Copies of this chain bind each other. A is one copy, B any other.
Amino acid sequence: MRAGEGRKRGRALIVGRFQPFHLGHLELVRKAAAEYDGVVVAVGSAQESHTEQNPFTAGERVEMVTAALRGAGIEAFHVVPIEDVHRHAIWVSHVVSLCPRFDAVLANEPLTTRLFEEAGFKVVRTELWKRKEWSATEVRRRMASGEDWRTLVPESVAAVIGAIKGEERVRSLLQNDKQA
């Protein structure tokens, strides 16, 4: 890929669904931004929205992630929505074709890790997501039950979710699952 462009280690790729983007995600990106020249944040399952597991559209998530990174003073980043291809064997090519060049993949999910390694990429295991409440599932659970979820996400993400009436959407989608 790209030869080193300075003293840091080139660009890092981070893949997630970010339903929604929370403080754990922010920590991960912050650490990557400190160690690499730039960070490419791939917003996965971009085609999904309006379900209990995936309430937010790709556009809404792109807006959240961008607002959060700017709010945290991170500058050298790209945010790219990535639709699923439902064929693992071509997924890495798909991601590569949609993202700016990157030099390393930060991941700890075994499938992601394996696919990038089989394709010859350098994969760095991440240690994060350690705190139990730093979980998108927990954020959505609190949204649904009326508990406080705002303390788990960056302020700018809470603002976007407020503007799009995201909490109301999560609740109405849960009704769906109960009824069906």
Q: Identify A47's interface contact among B87, B111, B114, CB under 8 A.
A: B87
Residue A152 CB within 8 A of the other chain: no
Q: In the complex, which range does the number of interface residues on chain A fall in? A: 35 or more
Known: A59-B80, A78-B79. 4 other contacts (CB 8 A): A59-B96, A90-B97, A101-B164, A109-B179
The 23 listed contacts between A and B (C-beta, < 8 Å) are A2-B163, A47-B86, A47-B87, A49-B89, A49-B97, A57-B98, A58-B98, A59-B97, A59-B101, A60-B101, A62-B78, A62-B99, A63-B101, A81-B98, A87-B97, A89-B97, A90-B93, A93-B93, A93-B94, A101-B163, A109-B180, A110-B176, A114-B169
Residue A173 CB within 8 A of the other chain: yes
How many copies of the shown chain assemble into the complex?
A: 6
A: residues with CB less than 8 A from B are 2, 46-51, 57-60, 62-63, 66, 78-81, 83, 86-90, 92-94, 96-101, 109-111, 113-115, 163-164, 169, 172-173, 175-176, 179-180
